[in-house]
Structure 1
Amino acid sequence: MGNSASVSALEKCISTVGNGRVGFAAYPSNPLYQISWVKPYNLDISVNPAAVVRPQSAQDIAGVIQCAATNNAKVQAKSGGHSYGNYGLGGADGVVAIDMVNFQDFSMDNTTWQATIGAGTLLGDVTTKLHNAGGRAIAHGVCPGVGLGGHATIGGLGPMSRMWGSCLDHVLEVEVVTADGKIQRASSSQNADLFWALKGSAAGFGVITNFVVRTHPEPGSIVQYSYTFRFGSQAEMAPVYQAWQDLIADPGLDRRFGTEFIMMPLGCIITGTFYGTEAEYAASGIPARLPKGGNAGLVVNDWVGSLTHDAQNEALYLSNVATPFYSKSLGFKTEDLIPADGVKEIFQWVDTVDKGTLLWFIIFDATGGAVSDVAMNATAYAHRDKVMFYQSYAVGLPLSGTTKDFLTSFHKQVLAAIPAGTYGTYAGYVDPALTDGQQEYWGTNLPALEGIKLKWDPSDIFHNPQSVRPASP
């Protein structure tokens, strides 16, 4: 931020925008700043923003962006605040963080069934509001505390994505405040280049205030299952994983089916969701292809009940509570999937290594289907060719170097086992340790993003440690 005089000028400018409103902004001098305003998600990554602002209108956001630009500060927006690198808070000290908590507006057009949803709305509330507005739904993840603003602009994957596509594939139009402090509309027909970039990389291009999204009728009956396998060693899980991976690699796999394989201490769990009746699930042939020998649990839910069930399961592995944690991830094309010998070696290796904690999970998640129907260059999201992601997640109180080494070494084991090629990972599983995060997140779309960044934000106002940088003029 520079010297104390520039900090003082920034605070004065933001306070002018707030016009004396209580609760509009706070600064590091506030004794409850970290607890009540910053509220980092990953407690292993320290962040101290120059200011946290809670605007109430697009005009407020425009004024705050202009204050930041005048005082040589960077800007990042936070909706739910679940970035693994605390990037909604800037990911580093001295950033102006715009907390979108007040942007909760919602409306439904009952003719087009298009919904307008505020960027600060949490996914749990998105589900409820759409349900109450005519039994409608969109694709999104299952953690209810995640904010729509980040989720719908980075990808937004969930168990229904193989059937309906990603969350960002449902976005038709946005209101966005750009680096020049202007309030813009962006869609495929208006500011189309900006809209393209916002659908996959919005953190580097603007602050979205609301989304217009297409919706679907809620599915009726939904089958949800889990198979729990308990073993004395990780090596005994290798055949179970192999059978699951063979299933999700099938290009003809029913798109109504979403599933995860979760590796954890003492065993594994296979979870899944099938959007149809129990009879349709049986007729799909999937039950007969799942690994045998686990303790099976199966329930039939409606749409809202299914998301509640998924949220409860998700809380067991990826907590909604702030903790010190570490994570690694990778995306797999069909040709990148782990060969049988590699699966065996990796699971045997896990038995031998000191993990430094009992709170660790490695989650393999099926993707593809409708997500892959969209061309790779149709949006900034660059993983249309993936059929699976893995992400590891470990919590330590405190987080030790041993635990970080375990997940880093696991990642290296995976890379050593799979065929040589070009890999990448989903920016929703942001990894601050990557040496070239932009390339891993956006791949072949990165050069176009850098060019659009030069046009819309040449001074790189919207910035975190791994956001898109402007192309060289």
Structure 2
Amino acid sequence: MGNQASNLTPLEKCITAVADGRDGFAGFPGRTILYQDQWVHRYNLDYEVEPVAVIRPQSAKDISGIIMCATQHNVKVQAKSGGHSYGNYGLGGEDGAIAIDLVNFQDFSMDGKTWRATIGAGTRLGDVTKKLHDHGNRAIAHGVCPDVGIGGHCTIGGLGPMSRMWGSCLDHVVEVEVVTSVGSIERASETLNPDLFWALKGAASSFGIITQFVVQTRPAPGNAIQYSYSFNFGSQAQMAPLFSAWQDLVTRPSLDRRFASEFIMTPLGAVITGTFYGSEEEFNSTGIPTSIPGGDELGFRIHDWLASLVHSAETEALYLSKIPAPFVSKSLAFRREDLLGALEVKGLFDWVDRQDKGTLLWFAIFSVQGGALADVGVNETAFAHRDKVLIFESYGVGLPVMRATREFIHNLHKNMKDAAPSGAVLGTYPGYVDPTLEEGQREYWGANLPRLERLKREWDPFDVFHNPQSVRVGPVEDGGV
């Protein structure tokens, strides 16, 4: 591994013993060439973090050995799948953790009788889509950014344009292989370690390292209709009525579940996008096309399933690049009763016009949710945002991020919360972690947090799986241990 054994720390010696002579197994700061660039590879360059080691294991047994090393030397552990955490939590989120990079976990198989697929936890979503397509033209719901890893995506929710139709990515998970805080390799499902399975479906980074998913697939849809309207107005205020009209449409309880849409605020105006999974005739029969606010430029395409995901990925890349950059981001999740009224929308958009953004690279995305997501109860999995119908996420990018940009994004978030109706129950989607939240755990997991804290005491009492906003070990209950 290129290190002199006599110079290694006790932790490094333990890790080297697990490697058993294999090259490319571990990288260490100060010892491994290009450690930050080639091993750490931060996604959000605004958050500096240096793991005490980055491990690239090849089996669950390897991970078990590394966890034993971590517990012996009182070091925290986090898993990295695609590495797209906004706070670099897959690297620990703060200095001194062991990051377990799952890049080598790429196995895939399909059971042609049950149509259940087994997928390695290091597989990127783009590869998941292709492998499912190539093995029986199957599919699951997931996001559209192809470089996001399934290991994180499928355990915090995993939202995308198919979610209103099929639910979240984690709703397709029926079983996992997971390495626990004591290094045991377990299976978890509705019948095997069901409490652990419940926690993993929404808060896995606090409970273990999943190495393998078993997912129930579906037949891929046939056609997918995609459109986008671009609005090039001189001010955000002029877009307020359009946003209100769009919000009224996409949050209707009767909205066809095959339809998904986004409203994207940009420095130049706005974009409204939509996807409908079905034929053009079916789309027209829903009445949605006549209710969509029209824009200056219309893009309209009819794709098959695979091509629709490629197009969505290309569109998303305009706003969420896979290239690491310094950025600040915040998000909110709204129930139907928490949505902003027309006057509040107008006031918010007027406010945006008056602000110094500190950058030309800023945008805000409103994504419609609901539908099949709400078919699962809020407390049936650790993922708590079942009752939300709209998710808002804002971004400011800079080289570096300027103070004005931070203030703009922070105040946009604050003003949106203030504009919500009295008694609004908002939250933050755990896929968009925000290290600045004062009560991140409560924002991410809501009413499910107390149960998660109890299960943390059972499955990870010494908080081995830790990041700055992971679930903490709950207090000892009366009469408990």
TM-score (norm 2): 0.97
SS where residue 146 of structure 1 aligns?
coil
CA distance in 1 between partners of 2:33 and 2:224 (Å) = 48
Deviation at residue 6 of structure 1 after TM alignment: 12
> What's the counterpart of residue 430 of structure 2?
427
> What's the counterpart of residue 417 of structure 2?
415
Contact 1:453 1:469 in 2 (8 A): yes
Match of 1:459 among 455, 462, 465: 462
Q: Residue type of the partner of 1:469? A: R
Deviation at residue 217 of structure 1 after TM alignment: 0.5
Deviation at residue 293 of structure 1 after TM alignment: 3.6
> What's the counterpart of residue 75 of structure 1?
77
> What's the counterpart of residue 479 of structure 2?
none
CA distance in 2 between partners of 1:459 and 1:405 (Å) = 37
SS where residue 317 of structure 1 aligns?
coil
CA distance in 2 between partners of 1:194 and 1:348 (Å) = 47
Match of 1:449 among 439, 443, 452: 452
Q: Residue type of the partner of 1:309? A: H
SS where residue 265 of structure 2 aligns?
strand
1:406-438 CA deviation, whole Å, 9 max, x = no partner? 000111110111112332110001000000000
Deviation at residue 296 of structure 1 after TM alignment: 1.2
Match of 2:351 among 343, 349, 352: 349
CA distance in 2 between partners of 1:78 and 1:324 (Å) = 19
CA distance in 1 between partners of 2:64 and 2:403 (Å) = 42
CA distance in 1 between partners of 2:45 and 2:295 (Å) = 39
Deviation at residue 85 of structure 1 after TM alignment: 0.3
SS where residue 332 of structure 1 aligns?
strand
Structure 1 residue runs without a partner (length 5+): none
SS where residue 185 of structure 1 aligns?
strand
1:55-454 mapped onto 2 (5 Å cutoff): 55-421=57-423, 422-454=425-457
> What's the counterpart of residue 471 of structure 1?
474
Contact 1:318 1:393 in 2 (8 A): no
Deviation at residue 246 of structure 1 after TM alignment: 0.3
Contact 1:7 1:50 in 2 (8 A): no
Q: Bigger CA drift: 303-312 or 409-418?
A: 409-418
CA distance in 2 between partners of 1:68 and 1:6 (Å) = 19
Alpha-carbon RMSD: 1.0
> What's the counterpart of residue 10 of structure 1?
11
Deviation at residue 338 of structure 1 after TM alignment: 0.8
Structure 1 segments, 4+ long, off by >2 Å, are: none
Deviation at residue 458 of structure 1 after TM alignment: 0.1
Deviation at residue 394 of structure 1 after TM alignment: 1.3
Deviation at residue 164 of structure 1 after TM alignment: 0.3
Contact 1:154 1:200 in 2 (8 A): yes
Q: Residue type of the partner of 1:221? A: N
Paired residues, number = 469
Q: Against the structure 1 CA distance between its residues 232 and 34, is the aligned structure 2 distance closer, same or farther, given a 3 Å change threshold?
A: same
Percent of counterpart pairs with the same letter?
Answer: 63
TM-score (norm 1): 0.98
Q: Bigger CA drift: 194-203 or 395-404?
A: 395-404
Deviation at residue 7 of structure 1 after TM alignment: 7.7
1:369-402 CA deviation, whole Å, 9 max, x = no partner? 0001101111000000000000001110111111
SS where residue 301 of structure 1 aligns?
strand
